């Protein structure tokens, strides 16, 4: 299993998904999202980290768009 990390629009619409990372552990997802936020000149605040860890997405991220991730089985047709 791997975790795909997306940057989406503010409504998390499927068509706006852009893959920004692939991770093997959930802990790496958070780290990767923080790195992307830093690259954008932003910071993921505590309440957004809670949303990311609990709901697999940010809600109200202060930067452009939102973060979302999902787990995907490997060697499987999507």
The confidence band for 4, taking pLDDT boundaries of 50, 70 and 90, is: very high
Q: Residue 49 half-sphere exposure, CB side, CA atoms within 13 Å? A: 12
pLDDT digits (tens, 9 = 90+) for 23-75: 999 899 999 999 999 999 999 999 999 999 999 999 999 999 999 999 999 99
Q: Which two tokens stand for residue 20?
A: 């920004």
**Tell me, what's the pLDDT at 78?**
81
pLDDT digits (tens, 9 = 90+) for 13-22: 999 999 999 9
Q: Which two tokens stand for residue 67?
A: 């973060």
Q: Which two tokens stand for residue 75?
A: 């060697």
**Tell me, what's the pLDDT at 57?**
97
């Amino acid at each position: 299993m791997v975790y795909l990390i997306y940057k989406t629009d503010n409504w998390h619409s499927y068509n706006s998904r852009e893959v920004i990372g692939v991770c093997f552990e959930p802990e790496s997802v958070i780290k990767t999202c923080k790195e992307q936020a830093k690259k954008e000149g932003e910071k993921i605040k505590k309440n957004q980290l809670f949303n990311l860890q609990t709901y697999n997405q940010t809600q109200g991220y202060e930067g452009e768009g939102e973060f979302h991730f999902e787990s995907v089985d490997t060697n499987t047709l999507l």
